[in-house]
């Protein structure tokens, strides 16, 4: 273009010199005057002929409409406007009926010198209107009713000046441009002049169109279009471009727009309309459309070496948009159809919806704020350099009423913050940050392999989080969330560091919540972890209204574990609750049946209401186990055991340990505040001493075992039928004791038993390796019952009955029988290697045996029946009220002293003694 203009100027100069060469004055002789004029005057005329055509009222589409402004032509035909005299503020106000610029351009003469060189018209004469003072601002105001057609360049001759073309009826630019103009303004508004300065532009109508050959303002520092509507159908090249569209009062200095009061006029469909052919290639651009509901369509490319600003009261459509600096968009709604990329910051703010069809990217920061639905159909990314490499300083901040990121990606190389009032749809989508990620939404839908990922900390705040079907939420260096309803079915929430969640409810069926360090979960209502996993490397803390860990649910900490469950803790059907270190579990009630596992690698504290540990349930600790419960059901192979001490407090509740239930401690075992105990076919045992205090104890076919001392305090009945009670030391205090059906009570040390009522030992065994002392109300040791001690044996019947029919009472040591009332020893044996006494009211020893390897003293106040029985000792003393000794035997190795107060029946009997004394 500029080469063409220079060539045109060169051709015009040649023609001018040719014209001068043909004049007569160029002939033979010299003259001082020509046509009566001195040579100096002639020089001026020739100059005018050379550089200036006569002044005109109009020229090539420019018609002056007010005095003070005149027109002319350069020697090459380019129109010249001698601008009006500027005021004291440097404003030259020029008014035109018509103002058009042809392809050869126009010169605005601001030259104060006699002549001035120009690019468009060569050398021209200076403007006589200026009187030596050039204008700073040239206002060309058009009021003829026709739009202005700008098809060429406008050049300011002389001092550069801000050029303003103001035509309320419209302006079109088709190949227009400006020369020697630092600032140019095209406006359809009225320039309002106050105190000799342009205060504002009053825009009520009109449009500015860029068409055809477009606009070249690349040599203008600042180019402005101020109009009600702008149409960009061709390229614009500019250093700094500002377009303000709408019915406004626009401040002339700041270009801030103030909407004018409505006048009923129809608003245009678009404030700024840029077709696919209309591109903007600028240093920086600011586009403003103020009318409510009137949109901006930018289908063409927009490329800025600096910043891009768009402010619209309606819908904005953006095509390919690139800025080396920042991009700032404010609108009622936005649709980004092409790639929008900022060299620094990308900001978009809408009152309504925001739609990204391809890519929104920035080097430093992306900030999106939508009052409606923000839909991402492509990629939103921060940390993208101009050469498409990535940096580590990219932040994204998204705020919207709703966000639709279904199957798409939002990625920040540093921080990402997403705040959504309603639903954030991230199904199959990705929200990713290399540093901190914060997400806030009423509903976060992360289903169908949705991903919310942070390489650092992740913070979630949601009324509802749907993370099912392989949804993934990861904060590598920490994950925290405040969530109403958390649904994580077959999903994952995890961190290599801590996970802290505060929820109303959690559905983690077949899901995973994992922390490399600590997992803290607070749920005001229920947690459902059926077949799910809640795991941590260092610590787990769960507070919940209810916790369902059943059906192979896993709740595991490699370190400490703490559960505080107000209602039911359900760990049945192979649920596993495990810790590598100390564990503390508090629950309203605990269901651990059907192979549930509660295990601690350290100490275990269990506090609960009813506990169901039946059908293979297991409660275990490597160190001390302390359980305070209101009842414990361990039937059918339930187990509670400790490699250290075990303390079980039933709070006066029932303990059911029947059918292979196990309570075991490698250390001290303490069973406190038991009401009733059912240990049928069960086992309660300890490597150290323990005691059982209960209201009743049913140990039929069960085992009570201790490697040290065992104490039993049973307020009512102890039933040990076919059972086993064994310890190194045994102390029993019961109301009654049934030890029939080969029941066995054995102490490897001393045995002390106090039975307030009946001790029934039919077919049973009571034995001690060291010594035994029994105090009972009655003793039934019949039918093969055995009462035996390797040491001394003391039996106090408290004046009760001793039934030893077919039974055995034996001690190699001292046998002490006291406070006997009646004794039935038919077919039984009472014996000792030491001397002993048997004193009773009656004795039936039919077919029975009383044996001592030392002295034996039998004193019966009333009847003694020894039919077919035997009383044998080294020394024997028998005293009785009556004696029936038919076929009986009284034998002493040494002396025998027999005294019978009444009847003596000695038929077929034997009375043998070395020294026999009868009385």
Instruction: Return averaged pLDDT per consecutive 10 residues of the chain, 919 residues in all.
Output: 35 32 30 38 39 47 95 96 98 98 98 97 97 97 97 98 98 98 98 97 96 95 95 93 94 95 89 83 89 88 91 91 95 95 96 97 97 97 96 97 98 98 98 97 97 97 97 98 97 98 98 98 97 98 98 97 98 97 98 97 97 97 96 96 94 95 92 93 93 92 94 94 96 96 95 96 95 96 95 94 96 94 97 95 97 96 97 96 97 94 93 83
Q: Bin 532: left if φ > 0, else alpha if -120 < ψ < 50, else beta.
A: beta
- Can you tell me the distance from the alpha carbon of 858 to that of 875, in angstroms, rounded to the nearest whole number? 11
- Can you tell me the distance from the alpha carbon of 151 to that of 803, in angstroms, rounded to the nearest whole number? 135
In terms of C-beta distances under 8 Å and separation of at least 24 residues, what long-range contacts does 519-528 make, across chains too? 519/557, 523/547, 526/567, 527/503
Q: How far is CA 485 from CA 462, 502, 837, in A?
A: 8, 10, 81
Q: What is the pTM of this model?
A: 0.81
What pLDDT does residue 175 have? Answer: 97
What pLDDT does residue 56 have? Answer: 45
What pLDDT does residue 200 have? Answer: 98
Backbone angles phi, psi at 13, to 5 degrees: -65, -40
Q: How far is CA 422 from the centre of its chain?
A: 17
Element (H, E) at 51: helix 39-51
Side by side, which strands form the sheet with 257-259? 190-194, 197-202, 248-251, 257-259
Residue 318 has, within 13 A of its CA and on its CB side, a CA count of 33
- Can you tell me the distance from the alpha carbon of 470 to that of 451, in angstroms, rounded to the nearest whole number? 9
Contacts of 389 (CB under 8 A, 6+ apart): none
Q: How far is CA 458 from CA 381, 441, 491, in A?
A: 18, 14, 16
Q: How far is CA 754 from CA 511, 757, 797, in A?
A: 57, 9, 10
In terms of C-beta distances under 8 Å and separation of at least 24 residues, what long-range contacts does 788-795 make, across chains too? 789/751, 789/813, 791/750, 792/816, 793/768, 793/832, 794/818
What pLDDT does residue 707 have? Answer: 92
Backbone angles phi, psi at 83, to 5 degrees: -65, 160
Q: Bin 388: left if φ > 0, else alpha if -120 < ψ < 50, else beta.
A: left
Query: What are 660's two structure tokens?
Result: 């292979």
Closest CA to 540 of 452, 601, 607: 601
- Can you tell me the distance from the alpha carbon of 778 to that of 804, in angstroms, rounded to the nearest whole number? 11
What pLDDT does residue 213 have? Answer: 96
What pLDDT does residue 916 have? Answer: 80
What pLDDT does residue 566 have? Answer: 97
What pLDDT does residue 37 have? Answer: 37
What pLDDT does residue 592 have? Answer: 97
How many other C-beta atoms are found inside a 10 Å radius of the C-beta of residue 1?
Answer: 11
Classify residue 390 by its DSSP letter. B
């Amino acid at each position: 273009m500029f080469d063409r203009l220079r060539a045109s100027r060169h051709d015009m100069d040649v023609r001018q010199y040719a014209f001068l060469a043909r004049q007569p004055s160029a002939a033979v002789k010299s003259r001082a005057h020509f046509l009566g004029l001195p040579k100096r005057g002639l020089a001026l005329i020739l100059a005018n002929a050379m550089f200036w055509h006569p002044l005109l009222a109009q020229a090539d589409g420019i018609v002056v409409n007010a005095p003070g402004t005149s027109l002319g032509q350069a020697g090459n035909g380019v129109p010249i406007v001698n601008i009006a005299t500027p005021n004291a503020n440097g404003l030259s106000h020029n008014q035109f009926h018509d103002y058009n610029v042809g392809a050869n351009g126009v010169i605005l003469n601001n030259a104060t010198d006699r002549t001035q060189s120009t690019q468009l018209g060569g050398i021209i004469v200076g403007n006589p209107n200026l009187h030596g003072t050039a204008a700073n601002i040239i206002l060309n105001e058009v009021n003829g009713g026709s739009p202005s057609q700008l098809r060429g360049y406008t050049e300011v001759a002389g001092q550069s000046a801000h050029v303003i073309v103001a035509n309320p009826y419209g302006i079109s630019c088709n190949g227009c441009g400006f020369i020697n103009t630092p600032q140019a303004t095209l406006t359809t508004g009225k320039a309002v002049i106050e105190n000799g300065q342009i205060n504002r532009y009053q825009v009520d109508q009109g449009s500015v169109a860029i068409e055809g050959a477009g606009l070249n303002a690349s040599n203008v520092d600042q180019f402005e279009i101020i109009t009600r509507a702008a149409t960009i159908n061709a390229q614009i090249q500019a250093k700094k471009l500002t377009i303000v569209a709408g019915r406004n009062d626009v401040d002339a200095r700041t270009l801030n727009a103030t909407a004018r009061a409505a006048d009923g006029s129809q608003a245009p469909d678009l404030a700024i309309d840029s077709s696919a052919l209309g591109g903007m290639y600028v240093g920086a651009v600011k586009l403003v459309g103020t009318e409510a509901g009137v949109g901006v369509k930018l289908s063409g490319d927009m490329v800025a070496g600096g910043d891009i600003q768009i402010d619209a009261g309606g819908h904005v459509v953006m095509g390919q948009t690139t800025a080396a600096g920042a991009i700032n968009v404010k609108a009622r709604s936005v649709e980004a159809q092409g790639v929008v990329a900022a060299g620094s910051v990308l900001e978009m703010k809408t009152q309504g919806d925001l739609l990204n069809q391809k890519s929104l990217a920035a080097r430093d920061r992306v900030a999106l704020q939508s009052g409606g639905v923000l839909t991402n159909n492509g990629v939103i990314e921060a940390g993208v350099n101009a050469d498409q490499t990535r940096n580590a300083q990219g932040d994204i901040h998204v705020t919207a009423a709703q966000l639709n990121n279904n199957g798409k990606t939002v990625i920040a190389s540093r921080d990402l913050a997403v705040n959504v009032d309603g639903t954030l749809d991230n199904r199959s989508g990705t929200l990713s940050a290399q540093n901190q990620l914060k997400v806030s939404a009423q509903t976060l839908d992360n289903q169908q392999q949705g991903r919310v990922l942070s390489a650092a900390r992740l913070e979630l705040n949601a009324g509802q989080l749907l993370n099912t079907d392989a949804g993934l939420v990861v904060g590598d260096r920490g994950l925290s969330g405040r969530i109403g309803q958390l649904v994580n079915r077959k999903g994952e929430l995890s961190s290599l560091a801590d996970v802290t969640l505060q929820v109303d409810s959690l559905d983690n069926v077949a899901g995973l919540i994992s922390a490399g360090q600590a997992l803290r979960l607070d749920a005001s209502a229920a947690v459902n972890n059926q077949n799910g996993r809640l795991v941590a490397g260092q610590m787990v803390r769960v507070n919940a209204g209810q916790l369902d860990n059943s059906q192979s649910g896993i709740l595991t900490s490699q370190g400490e574990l703490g559960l505080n469950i107000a209602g039911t803790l359900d760990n049945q059907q192979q649920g596993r609750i495990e810790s590598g270190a100390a564990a503390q579990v508090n629950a309203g009630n605990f269901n651990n049946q059907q192979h549930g596992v509660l295990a601690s690698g350290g100490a275990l504290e269990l506090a609960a209401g009813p506990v169901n540990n039946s059908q293979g349930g297991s409660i275990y600790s490597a160190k001390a186990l302390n359980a305070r419960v209101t009842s414990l059901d361990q039937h059918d192979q339930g187990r509670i055991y400790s490699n250290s001490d075990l303390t079980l407090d039933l709070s006066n509740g029932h303990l059911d340990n029947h059918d292979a239930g196990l309570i075991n401690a490698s250390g001290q075992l303490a069973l406190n505040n038991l009401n009733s105990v059912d240990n049928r076919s069960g086992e309660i045992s300890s490597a150290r001493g323990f005691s059982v205090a209960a209201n009743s104890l049913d140990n039929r076919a069960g085992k009570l075992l201790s490697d040290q001392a065992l104490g039993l305090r049973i307020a009512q009945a102890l039933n040990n039928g076919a059972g086993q009670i064994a310890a190194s030391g045994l102390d029993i205090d019961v109301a009654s004791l049934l030890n029939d059906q080969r029941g066995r009570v054995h102490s490897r040390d001393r045995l002390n038993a106090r039975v307030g009522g009946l001790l029934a030992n039919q077919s049973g065994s009571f034995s001690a390796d060291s010594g035994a002392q029994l105090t009972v109300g009655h003793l039934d040791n019949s039918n093969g019952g055995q009462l035996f001690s390797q040491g001394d044996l003391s039996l106090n019947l408290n004046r009760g009955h001793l039934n030893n029919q077919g039974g055995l009472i034996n001690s190699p040591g001292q046998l002490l029988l006291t406070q006997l009332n009646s004794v039935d020893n038919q077919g039984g044996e009472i014996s000792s290697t030491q001397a002993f006494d048997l004193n009773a009211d009656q004795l039936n020893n039919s077919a029975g045996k009383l044996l001592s390897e030392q002295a034996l003293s039998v004193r019966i106040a009333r009847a003694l029946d020894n039919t077919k029985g035997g009383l044998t000792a080294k020394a024997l003393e028998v005293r009785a009220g009556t004696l029936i000794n038919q076929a009986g035997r009284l034998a002493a190795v040494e002396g025998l002293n027999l005294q019978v107060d009444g009847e003596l029946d000695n038929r077929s009997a034997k009375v043998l003694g070395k020294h026999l004394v009868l009385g």
